[in-house]
């Protein structure tokens, strides 16, 4: 509270809000565009400023419901990222015990009870489609909520800004330190801060590789310098990019590098929730003193610049929607506090749809934000998203862990033997997706009597119409099988039937052809 | 030349040019973008120095690292050769009949043989080793010169009727064109066909066969692998199984030739080729198993077959 009072007495240092130039559309709230300082950039070619020197955003600390929500999201997402590789999951002696593991070497993806094989990549494709539609859904309902809360760039930027605050103090102190000459104490502070940046980056890059190998073993190997070079290279690249993108580039990534803000301009509509400055209520701006002197002359905005000071991307929300706004809602927290201080109703800056804004400007009462969620477009997105999810779950629940595929030899297609019998050769692939070795029975079905089969392991002397094969855990066993029809018998097609010889007794079958000489 | 002004709706300065009333706002690019561009230029310069890059008249500049894609290939090939060396040595040290006792070694020999087969053997025996008239099929259970690993190895090493190879497998079916009357040829051919059940017995043919053919082909026409005399009582015919084919072979026989591969291929490759040919489905065990009876014994078991799966 004391903080707020002080704020009103001492206006923040002049740090004009940035205009990202490429504002998506003319200010849709119709706010009068403020006095804009011409870009204070270094001189470029022909005296014109074609390039702009980067400016650090020193956002002020703020507390409020949205800030607390951001803390929560940050803790949850970082915890998921750092803890997940260390979770164990017992799969028996033939499979890794790491709960989430992308085993590229063996081409398996483990996620708790789910194990995905390469031939089931459609599950991953389905998840990616769900992620895409999920972004549509979220954007349609609550605008750029992904950008504001859950995007890794946002989470890590937030983390690094807290580090800034820890070492250099809040906004004003950081601005002063930035402008201060490079004294020994500033160098020491910067070195300390950047070391922590580097530590965080190293932990970020280090955690990533743990998803691709047994985490305890790999962590140990990394420290004893026994890990594979690609592990160190990955850590180095991710450490470097985290240090650079999180420590220094920050909002520049959102504005200049990320395609998502541009895609979202096509997906937001007048019914999407966005963070909006209600200009019809706020304008014209005037300080509390001015307003006291001339009531009725000024709107609710006291032009305290708090919304600009707390913004992690350094924009002025009062200019309307713009590409730099990640809708983190910290300006709502800031403005609500100020409004409470000066005894005016909250929500001068608030989550609202453009449609609501127009209605409110015309005199309608404010609507609760959740009402904006229930509309056809959002519900349709949700329906599509949920049905894909349900379909994936159904496919996952009903998939078989036993499979046989057959490819007949094509050259030669058949073999006439001495006694006139005909032999065909097949390559069978017996897939055992269980994490235990299983005996499986392969049987011929649909061939005349006398047909027998043998393999390299089962010699011709033991040929029979059904054979038992040991299939190792988590593997596809390739078996070359010979099938022989005695002289005088004929066949065109038949079926290899596979049955697992265990309690579940899963079955599968594959039809194939039997080639014969044309005349005998 | 330039006429800069502040654009009212956006509050941004223009660059000062105007084309038919169209002006451009000066939205400055961030400086780091420019530095990134410079960094790519620096990277390119470093690359040009380190790696082959600059086109010259007959080749590109070599680059100070001396890297080349051919060099990469040569390194990978010699690494692969080195990795195979141990297996080669093991195969060389193992007696060929002992190979199947070590399934891993046998599989490696088969894989190596399959590769060598595609280079050296497919020209006559076909890509699937199924042969063609005059060129034996290597997948079946009929072996003119024997189908054990060591017999196949011997055939590959020394060839068949190969000039200049003393140990080559050799035999000659005599030409009977001047010895038989046409009626005799008919009778003999009919008898040969009858051995595999394709014609009725005839006493004259049987008599001729016993006098002229049984010495090599055996009284029942079962053949003698040691002499290279093919079995005549089975379904497999090297030069065709019609009566006309048989007559032709009696009157004016053809004699196939197979090169001796000793001296062209190293002993390990020959061993691997033998393993591959043996693995094609008709390979025989060295034990005194009667080759001709094995399949028949199997067919006798046929009633056990449960075709219903």
**Per-residue pLDDT tens digits for A18-32:** 544 443 344 333 333
B64 touches chain A (CB under 8 A): no
> Measuring CA to CA, which residue among B106, B99, B105, B136 is closest to residue B121?
B136
Nearest of A149, A45, A467, A276 to residue B26 by alpha carbon: A45
Is the minimum CB–CB distance between B287 and chain A shorter than 8 Å?
no
Contact in structure between A430 and A471 (CB atoms under 8 Å): yes
User: In this structure, what token pair is assigned to residue B290?
Assistant: 């009667």
Q: Residue A114's closest CA among A401, A505, A405?
A: A401
* d(CA B172, nearest CA chain A) in Å: 23
Query: Mind telling me how many Å the CA of B297 is from chain A's nearest CA?
Result: 8
Q: Which residues of A touch B12 (CB under 8 A)?
A: 19, 21, 36, 39
Backbone dihedral region for residue A232 (phi beyond 0: left; psi -120 to 50: alpha; all else: beta): alpha
Average pLDDT estimate for A127-155: 90
How close does chain A come to B298, measured CA to CA in Å?
Answer: 7
The minimum CA-CA distance between B154 and chain A, rounded to whole Å, is 23
Nearest by CB to residue A460, choosing from B298, B308, B309, is: B298
The closest of A106, A107, A89 to A98, measured between CA atoms, is A89
Cβ contact, residue pair A417, B34, below 8 Å? no
Q: Is the four-CA dihedral A216, A217, A219, A223 of positive or negative sign?
A: positive
Prior bond to A412 cis, omega within 30?
yes
Q: Which of A19, A48, A419 sits opposite B234 (nearest CB)?
A: A419
Cis (ω within 30 of 0) for the bond into A475? Answer: no
Domain boundary assignment for chain B: 1-67, 81-169+258-286, 182-251
Dihedral, A371, A375, A377, A378 alpha carbons, nearest 10: 50
Tell me if B298 sits within 8 A of A450, measured CB to CB: no
Judge whether B178 is closer than 8 Å to chain A, CB to CB: no
- Which residues face A275 on adjacent strands? A351
Verify whether the Cβ–Cβ distance B305 to A42 is below 8 Å. no
Mean pLDDT of A216-222: 92
Q: What is the ipTM of this complex?
A: 0.76
| pTM of the full structure | 0.76
Residues of B in contact with A484 (CB under 8 A): 298
What is the token pair recorded at B243?
């009566």
Q: Which residue of B has its CA nearest to A426?
A: B281
Same topology for domains B81-169+258-286 and B182-251, yes or no? Answer: yes
Q: Which fold has domain B81-169+258-286?
A: Cytochrome Bc1 Complex; Chain D, domain 2 (1.10.760)
Is A411 in Cβ contact with B127 (below 8 Å)?
Answer: yes
CB-CB under 8 Å, B10 with A23? yes
Instruction: Flag if B234 and A418 touch (Cβ within 8 Å).
Output: yes
> Distance (Å, rounded) from C-alpha A408 to C-alpha A393?
34
Tokens 């066969």 correspond to what residue? Answer: B209
Percent of chain A whose pLDDT exceeds 90: 52
Instruction: Name which of A441, A459, A435, A446 is nearest A490 in CA terms.
Output: A446
**Three-state DSSP class for residue A219:** helix
Mean pLDDT of A401-412: 92
- A349 contacts A287 by C-beta, under 8 angstroms: no
Residue-level length of chain B: 309
Instruction: Give the closest-approach CA distance of B148 to chain A in angstroms.
Output: 15
Q: How far apart are CA B234 and CA B231, in angstroms?
A: 6
> Vertex A178, ends A177 and A181: CA angle to 5°?
75
- What's the CA gap between B268 and B258, in Å, rounded? 19
CA–CA min distance A49, chain B (Å): 6
Identify whether the C-beta of residue B200 lies closer than 8 Å to the C-beta of residue B194.
yes
Give me the sign of the Cα torsion angle A290, A294, A295, A298.
negative
Confidence at A479, pLDDT banded by 50, 70, 90: very high
Q: A477-504 burial by CB neighbour count: b if 16+ within 10 A, else e?
A: eebebbbbbbbebebeebbbbbbbeeee
Question: For residue A34, what pLDDT is reported?
Answer: 39
Count of CB contacts below 8 A, A vs B?
Answer: 163
* B270 three-class SS: helix
Q: Which residues does chain A have within 8 Å of residue B281's beta carbon, measured at their own beta carbons?
A: 415, 423, 425, 482
Burial group, residue B213, by CB count within 10 angstroms (0-12, 13-18, 19+): buried
Task: Report pLDDT for A286.
Answer: 85
Query: Residue A14 pLDDT > 60, yes or no?
Result: no
pLDDT at res. A140: 85
Contact A415 B281 (CB under 8 A): yes
pLDDT of residue A128: 94
B288 reaches A (C-beta below 8 A): no
How many angstroms separate the CA atoms of A80 and A69, rounded? 16
pLDDT tens-digit readout, B39-70: 999 999 999 999 998 888 888 888 899 899 99
Give B4→chain A minimum CA distance, Å: 9
Question: Given an 8 Å threshold on Cβ–Cβ distance, is B303 in contact with A450?
Answer: yes
Cα separation, B178 vs B201, in Å, equals 25
Predicted confidence pLDDT, tens digits, chain B (309 residues): 467 888 888 788 888 888 898 888 888 888 888 899 999 999 999 999 999 988 888 888 888 998 999 999 999 999 999 998 999 999 999 999 999 899 899 999 999 999 999 999 999 999 999 998 899 999 998 999 999 999 999 999 999 999 989 999 998 899 998 888 989 999 999 999 999 888 888 899 999 999 999 999 999 999 888 888 999 999 899 998 899 999 999 999 999 999 999 999 999 999 999 999 999 888 888 865 444 444 433 333 333 333 333
CB contact under 8 A, A451 and B281: no
With CA atoms as reference, the chain A residue closest to B283 would be: A460
pLDDT, tens digit (0-9, with 9 covering 90-100), for B266-309: 999 999 999 999 998 888 888 654 444 444 333 333 333 333 33
pLDDT at A355: 86
Q: Chain B contacts of A256, Cβ < 8 Å?
A: 30, 33
- B236/A418 touch (CB, cutoff 8 Å), yes or no: yes
**Domains with residue ranges and CATH for chain A:** 66-116+144-267 (no CATH), 274-374 (no CATH), 402-513 (2.60.40.10)
Cα separation, A35 vs A270, in Å, equals 27
Encoded tokens for B100: 């199947």
Whether residue A450 and residue B15 make contact (CB cut-off 8 A), yes or no, is no
Contact A137, A131 (CB under 8 A): no
CA separation for the pair A469, A474 (Å, rounded): 15
Contact status of B163 with chain A (Cβ, < 8 Å): no
Please state the φ and ψ torsions of residue A432, each to the nearest 5 degrees: -115, 100
The phi and psi torsions of B55 (rounded to 5 degrees) equal -70, 130
Q: Residue A483 belongs to what H/E stretch?
A: strand A475-485
d(CA A446, CA A495): 6
**Cα A435 to the center of its chain, rounded Å:** 29
Question: Architecture of B182-251 per CATH?
Answer: Orthogonal Bundle (1.10)
CA distances from A17 to A12, A285, A318, A337 (A): 12, 16, 10, 20
> B306, A466: Cβ pair inside 8 Å?
yes
Q: Which residue of B has its CA nearest to A43?
A: B28
C-beta separation of A501 from A434 below 8 A? no
Beta bridge partners of A498: A442, A508
Integer-rounded Cα Rg, in Å, for chain B is 36
> Quick check: B235 and A23 CB within 8 A?
no
Q: Pairing between strand A349-352 and A274-277?
A: antiparallel
Q: Give start and end residues of each alpha helix (H) in A294-375.
A: 306-310, 330-341, 354-361
Whether chain A has a CB inside 8 Å of the CB on B23: the answer is no
Q: B104 CB near a chain A CB, below 8 Å?
A: no
Smallest Cβ–Cβ distance between B235 and the set A23, A26, A418 belongs to A418
């Amino acid at each position: 509270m004391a903080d707020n009072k002080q704020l009103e007495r001492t206006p923040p240092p002049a740090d004009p809000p940035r205009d990202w130039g490429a504002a998506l559309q003319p200010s849709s709230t119709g706010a009068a565009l403020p006095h804009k300082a011409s870009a204070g950039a270094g001189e470029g070619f022909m005296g014109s400023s074609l390039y702009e020197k980067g400016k650090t955003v020193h956002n002020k600390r703020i507390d409020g419901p949205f800030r607390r929500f951001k803390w929560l999201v940050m803790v949850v997402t970082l915890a998921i990222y750092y803890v997940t590789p260390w979770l164990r999951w017992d799969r028996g002696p033939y499979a890794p015990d790491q709960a989430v593991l992308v085993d590229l070497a063996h081409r398996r993806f483990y996620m708790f009870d789910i194990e995905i094989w390469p031939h089931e990549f459609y599950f991953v494709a389905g998840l990616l489609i769900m992620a895409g539609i999920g972004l549509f859904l979220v954007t349609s309902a609550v605008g750029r909520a992904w950008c504001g809360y859950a995007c890794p760039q946002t989470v890590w930027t937030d983390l690094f800004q807290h580090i800034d605050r820890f070492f250099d103090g809040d906004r004003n102190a950081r601005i002063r330190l930035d402008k201060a000459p490079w004294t020994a104490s500033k160098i020491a502070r910067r070195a300390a801060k950047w070391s922590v940046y580097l530590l965080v980056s190293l932990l970020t890059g280090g955690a990533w590789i743990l998803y691709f190998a047994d985490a305890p073993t790999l962590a140990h190997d990394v420290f004893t310098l026994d890990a594979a070079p690609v592990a160190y290279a990955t850590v180095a690249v991710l450490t470097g990019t985290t240090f650079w993108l999180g420590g220094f580039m920050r909002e520049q990534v959102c504005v200049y590098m990320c395609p998502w803000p541009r895609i979202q301009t096509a997906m937001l509509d007048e019914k999407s929730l966005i963070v909006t400055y209600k200009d019809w209520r706020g304008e014209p701006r005037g300080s509390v003193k001015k307003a006291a002197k001339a009531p009725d002359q000024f709107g609710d905005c006291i032009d305290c610049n708090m919304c600009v000071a707390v913004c992690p991307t350094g924009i002025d929300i009062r200019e309307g929607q713009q590409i730099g706004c990640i809708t983190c809602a910290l300006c709502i927290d800031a403005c609500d506090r100020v409004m409470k201080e000066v005894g005016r109703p909250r929500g001068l800056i608030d989550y609202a749809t453009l449609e609501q804004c127009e209605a409110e400007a015309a005199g309608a009462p404010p609507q609760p934000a959740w009402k904006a969620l229930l509309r056809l477009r959002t519900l349709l997105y949700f329906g599509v998203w949920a049905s894909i999810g349900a379909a994936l779950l159904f496919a996952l629940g009903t998939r078989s862990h036993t499979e046989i595929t057959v490819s007949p030899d094509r050259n030669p297609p058949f073999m006439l033997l001495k006694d006139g019998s005909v032999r065909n050769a097949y390559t069978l692939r017996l897939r055992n997706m269980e994490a235990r070795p299983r005996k499986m029975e392969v049987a011929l079905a649909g061939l005349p009597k006398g047909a027998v089969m043998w393999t390299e392991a089962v010699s011709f002397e033991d040929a029979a119409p059904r054979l038992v094969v040991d299939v190792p855990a988590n593997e596809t066993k390739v078996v070359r099988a010979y099938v022989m029809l005695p002289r005088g018998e004929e066949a065109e097609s038949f079926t290899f039937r596979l049955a697992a010889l265990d309690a579940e007794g899963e079955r599968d079958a594959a039809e194939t052809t039997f080639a014969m000489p044309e005349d005998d | 030349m330039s006429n800069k002004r502040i654009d009212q709706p956006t509050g941004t300065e223009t660059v000062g040019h105007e084309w038919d009333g169209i002006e451009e706002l000066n939205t400055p690019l961030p400086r780091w973008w420019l530095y990134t561009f410079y960094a790519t230029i620096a990277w390119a310069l470093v690359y040009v120095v380190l790696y082959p890059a600059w086109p010259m008249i007959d080749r590109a500049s070599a680059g100070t690292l001396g890297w080349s894609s051919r060099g990469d290939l040569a390194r990978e090939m010699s690494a692969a050769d080195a990795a195979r060396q141990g297996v080669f040595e093991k195969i060389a040290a193992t007696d060929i009949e002992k190979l199947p006792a070590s399934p891993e070694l046998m599989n490696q020999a088969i894989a190596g043989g399959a590769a060598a087969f595609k280079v050296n053997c497919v020209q006559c025996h076909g890509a699937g080793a199924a042969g063609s008239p005059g060129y034996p099929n290597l997948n079946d259970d009929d072996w003119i010169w024997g189908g054990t690993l060591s017999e196949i190895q011997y055939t590959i090493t020394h060839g068949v009727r190969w000039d200049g190879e003393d140990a080559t497998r050799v035999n000659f079916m005599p030409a009977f064109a001047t010895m038989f009357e046409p009626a005799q040829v008919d009778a003999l051919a009919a008898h040969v066909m009858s051995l595999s059940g394709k014609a009725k017995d005839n006493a004259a043919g049987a008599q001729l066969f016993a006098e002229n053919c049984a010495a090599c082909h055996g009284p029942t026409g079962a053949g003698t692998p040691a002499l290279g005399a093919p079995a005549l009582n089975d379904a497999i015919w090297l030069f065709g199984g019609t009566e006309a084919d048989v007559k032709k072979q009696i009157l004016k026989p053809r004699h196939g030739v197979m090169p001796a591969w000793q001296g062209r291929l190293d002993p390990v490759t020959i061993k691997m080729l033998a393993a591959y040919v043996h693995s094609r489905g008709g390979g025989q065990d060295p034990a005194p198993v009667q080759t001709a009876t094995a399949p028949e014994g199997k067919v006798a078991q046929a009633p056990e077959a449960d075709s219903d799966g």
